[in-house]
Amino acid sequence: DAGVIQSPRHEVTEMGQEVTLRCKPISGHDYLFWYRQTMMRGLELLIYFNNNVPIDDSGMPEDRFSAKMPNASFSTLKIQPSEPRDSAVYFCASSFSGYEQYFGPGTRLTVT
């Protein structure tokens, strides 16, 4: 298996632009998680899905952030409009049981 796939690996954008991050989970996994990693706050859970349904989005920082999972093979995390403080590494993880998560390589987002 190719593991969790994320794209793009790096994204540089200007403040105010829309940013879309993509994730393909491991085939057969029914849980998908989005995390954000910053130097100040470490790794934080933003939202997670079970069977394509959002279960807990309490970690989503603001209404500028939204996440979707239209099918079992694909999820997006969108930021609109983006701000410099959104600069971070965004990780996607998937799981079969929910209790052992496998992480993707991450997307490094820089908002100037």
**Looking at 15-23, 43-51, 62-70, 73-81, which segment touches another protein (CB under 8 A)?**
43-51
Contact code string over 73-102 relative to another protein, x by CB under 8 A: ------------------x---x--xxxxx
Contact code string over 44-73 relative to another protein, x by CB under 8 A: xx--x-------x-----------------
Among 33, 34, 65, 86, binds another protein (CB under 8 A): 33
Structural element, H or E, at residue 49: strand 42-50
Radius of gyration of the chain (CA): 13
Nearer to another protein, 12 or 15 (CB): 12
Report the alpha-carbon distance of residue 25 to residue 109 in Å, rounded.
20
For the chain, first and last CA: distance in Å?
36
Q: What CA dihedral angle connects 39, 89, 69 and 60, to 10 degrees? A: 30
Nearer to another protein, 62 or 100 (CB): 100
